[in-house]
Amino acid sequence: MKVGVVGMGLIGGSMAKAIHKKTEHTVIGWDASETVRLSAKLLEAADEFMVDGNPKDCDLVLIALYPQATVDYVRQHAKDFKKGAMVVDCAGVKRLVCQNVQDIAAENGFIFIGAHPMAGIERSGFNFSSEKIFEGATMILTPFRGTDIADVDRLSQFFKSIGFARMQVATDAEHDQMIAYTSQLAHVVSSAYIKSELSPNFKGFSAGSFHDMTRVAKLNETMWTELFLVNKDYLADEIDGLVERLQAYSKVIRNGDGDTLKAMLKDGKEKRLAVDVVKEFD
pLDDT 10s digits, 192-236: 999 999 999 998 998 889 999 999 999 999 999 999 999 999 999
Contact 218, 193 (CB under 8 A): no
Indicate the domain borders of the chain.
Answer: 2-170, 175-277
Architecture of domain 2-170: 3-Layer(aba) Sandwich (3.40)
- Band of pLDDT at residue 68, cut at 50, 70 and 90: very high
Report the percent of the chain where pLDDT is more than 90: 90
- Band of pLDDT at residue 279, cut at 50, 70 and 90: low
Q: What pLDDT is stored for residue 275 in this prediction?
A: 87
Length of the chain: 282
Distance of CA 129 to the CA centre of its chain: 14
Architecture of domain 175-277: Orthogonal Bundle (1.10)
Please check the confidence at residue 151 and state whether its pLDDT lies above 90. Answer: yes
Contact 158, 88 (CB under 8 A): no
Q: Exposure of 76 by Cβ count < 10 A (0-12 exposed, 13-18 middle, 19+ buried)? A: exposed
Please check the confidence at residue 7 and state whether its pLDDT lies above 90. Answer: yes
